[in-house]
Amino acid sequence: MPQPVSPPALPRHQRCLDTFACRVVNRAPLHLPAIACSVSAAILGRTAHTGTGSLRYAEVAAWADGEAAHAEFEAQMIEDVVAVHRALDVEVLRMPWRMNERPDARLDQYTFRFGPESGEHTIWQYHPETADFSAIYQSPRTQSAEVRLRDELARLEARAADPMAAARTAIAEAVALWRRYGEEFLMRSVGAGIGVGYDPDDLELMVTAPELFRRKILLQADHAIAIGRAMLAAGLPPVMSGGGDLAGSQGPIYSPAMFRDIVLPGYVRAMSALNQLGIHYYFCSDGNLWPLMDMLFTEAGCPGYGEMDRDATMTVAAVRARFPRLVIWSNVSSSLLMYGTAAEVRDQAQASLDEAEGRGYFQGCSNAIVHGTPVENVQAMMAVR
């Protein structure tokens, strides 16, 4: 069995590794889940492509200009993400969620079509005032939801026929980044989600065809295990994120009983292997997860929790009271960062830090630092460590 390969024994790396182990550290390492381009631009004093809807729009627009334009964009994006992590003295380097897809047509400055005009397609539009980039139209589906899910299962099963080849492909970009920046940052560059999602068609199929989702979840779990093994073989830091959004402020969007029946077996399978391999896997979802917490963090044994939503009662103090060794990836409210004062942000960041008692906690925003967030609030949060 491959053994975890530790990154260089540098203080910034060691601080993160000690945090994974829930050991006391001299200061909490910083983590930046996502930061809007406009906020990074204000920090760096120049245009920057770093995250949220504005990044996804910019990448699609670059693709619309051709492969060469996209390659230039991608190189600049990596430089920009690294630059803002350096400016904020962040230990964990994380590449943002992207929309790395070439549109079939650009309809105007802000609007794109994906798919043929005469066939199944979606139209996406960017809104500069909010920096949101989202689908505004979906043409009628040509296949039923069940057929689409069966097609997806066929693709996942084909991938599972050679799991390590698929895993090595999945981590290739992370390996390249680690070789460039691994002595400066601890990379968190690989993800392996396990979950259903919240598309209405998927939620209906959980009721009408649960056996299909059970197959999908176990295939996702096996892919996560293969990625973990490939990471260790490549010498990447032993950390990956996963999970998937499944809750709002009032609780999960489907019942805990359905989670137990359909989703939990995948986490049990994945965590049994990844924990043995020494991979720190942290589950990500904002919202109120209390009804699922025992399943995720006791029964499955998931060692970390990201996007922990302080505004939905998921405070460090409350979670640690039930799960004393759970590693928490940031807990400062995105909403407070956006609308609060620097003093209020500083107080909440200090409260999260105090509740962690010096161990098992990455300081930072629980979710995205969104467009319009004052720079002084970001700096106030990052100064508390």
DSSP 8-state code for residue 230: H
| Per-residue pLDDT reduced to its tens digit, 286-325 | 999 999 999 999 999 999 999 999 999 999 999 999 999 9
- Is 7 a residue whose pLDDT tops 50? no
Flag whether pLDDT at 9 surpasses 60.
no
Residue 150, exposed/middle/buried by CB under 10 A (0-12, 13-18, 19+)? middle
Dihedrals φ, ψ of 124, to 5°?
-115, 145
Take residue 175 and report the two structure tokens written for it: 């390996």
pLDDT in tens, 326-357: 999 999 999 999 999 999 999 999 999 999 99
Among 240, 235, 215, 206, which residue's Cα sits nearest to residue 160?
215
Residue 33, judged by CB atoms within 10 A of its CB (0-12, 13-18, 19+), counts as buried
Instruction: Write out pLDDT tens, residues 10-45.
Output: 788 999 999 999 999 999 999 998 999 999 999 999
CA atoms within 13 A on the CB side of 226: 19
